[in-house]
Structure 1
Amino acid sequence: MSISFEGRVAIVTGAGGGLGRAYALELARRGAKVVVNDLGGSRDGTGHSDAALKVVEEIEAMGGEAMSNGGSVSEYEQMVEMVAKTKERWGGVHVLINNAGILRDKSFTKMDPADFEMVVRVHLIGSAFATKACWDLMREQNYGRILMTASSTGLFGNFGQANYGAAKLGLAGLTKTLYLEGAKNNIKVNTLAPVAATRMTEDIFPEEAFKLFGPENVVPAALFLVSDDAPTNAIVGAGGGAYHGAWVTMNKGVLLPPAERTVEGFAANWEKINDRTGDFAPQSGAEQSQVIIGQLQAAMKG
């Protein structure tokens, strides 16, 4: 089986280096026309560079088609302009990989509120802005593939990254609504939690581990999740050649009788409430309510 992106137009944000560059290059190798979006700043979001232009040159040198874009994902009108220019040149947008991000790590007690807000704005709001700019066009095309970039920090936590973790789990939540809203128009939305050696992680990994986690090892997962035959609503982890699925799950829980619906009654039943035996991954928020309604109906029947 060969996965091709011939005839597809892809936008990759934050594609001037690291993971974004790796995605852009492989998309181009497989036939996509690629918009290389990159503000070009340092990893804390300040400064500028010509990183996007260099990636475009690499793509053109291999015989592919690409254009650079220096718009900030944190500015909605710049994302709208990027999509408009892409449509004008190539007729549409079929793939969006939301990859742009910054880091401003500190323990929560030392974190300036402005640093919390900026990280959430770039990762979460920026991904929402880029997606919104593409959304109606993808609906008109009856085709869209969107990838959100989450993180193990968002899914599981990490000391010193409250801002980053909040934004990244928010992206997984955004996926879970957009996949429902996009389904009737063949828009598939997935979440990737990558572990990669990039400038964002160069002082986090030990040197030997850094060598093992090249961005190229994340590319297979990312490109599959935006391919024609992609699943939807998946959460996938990738790094160092290892790949895994992750899920947001719930259990059946317990229905407390009226007399036990107290703080003390809840405490007494905590072990049952928190028991993961038989947990499952709901496909929409409505399933939580359905479980509760089912328990109430069963209780009423005696």
Structure 2
Amino acid sequence: MSQDIMDDHSMCEHVIKVNGVDIAYQLHGNALRPTLLLIHGLSTPLTGWPRAMVDAFVAANFHVLLVDNRDVGRSQQLDHLPIPNMGWVITKLKLGFSIKTPYQLEDMMQDIIALLDALKLSEVHVVGASMGGMIAQLMAIHHPQKVKTLTSIMSTTGYKQLPGIDKNIRETLLQKPVSKEHEDQMHSHIKKWQVIGSPDYPSSETYLQQYVESMLQRGITAKGTIRQMLAIMSAGNREGELSKLNIPSLVIHGDRDGLVNVAGGKATADAIPNAKLKIYPGMGHDFPVELIPSIVNDIVTHVNTHLGDRA
């Protein structure tokens, strides 16, 4: 897609207080078209959605709503909420105890629901990636009337017995930037995306620099990332609730995802009645440029198949 398309189509950005939190969002395309809501993952602002994807959805006649989750991007940083001792948190989880966290994934889900209410969007087609997939699943579980279709990408059900993070990825993610200087932050985030990325579709250095720059400029903080991570760590198993869904669902995952193992995608598709599963060989925990047209087509076909279901 042309780099100019996003500049040509209608786009507006606002920050609004919903559910007691300032949430930033963007709307792209024609408001008279069906709305496609895109929710991204851990410490990833709305610019984490590749520009080519947003352009393609608009070109496919969708009104696209992008959001910054709480604690990332231009949404509110909840620094007044205390962060528990992480060593103690991990110990409690290993022993099977519940943990107290600044907020839950359900709170993040409620931010989105309140935003939809404020925008007077009665129902949307929800697409969630990684943590965003978990939030999208919770929307479908708790507010099914608002979710016309569900697409869960590189996500999981919260079942703790599924395979965990690859060791080399965990070690890389635990490494802190050398300093708070922009260059060191850039280097750290680029390294992270390289290690979680798609082995068969490595991103060029130029693309990664531009991609990471767009997210850092929008806003990523260490404390915000920890609070979001704690919400993921404390989440329960959604499989039982997912099994009761009656929403057209598509699950997309890469078979080389070392951050959220492909078993998580398979478990999600197994849990949701009649869900469609699309596994991409060689894809990791990112959206490779080469696969974007195919992934967009998967989602557009899924949504268009069910456009008239609740007419």
TM-score range, shorter chain: 0.3 to 0.5
TM (norm. structure 1) is 0.38
Higher helix share: 1
Higher relative contact order (CA 8 A, sep 6+): 2
**Larger radius of gyration, structure 1 or 2?**
1
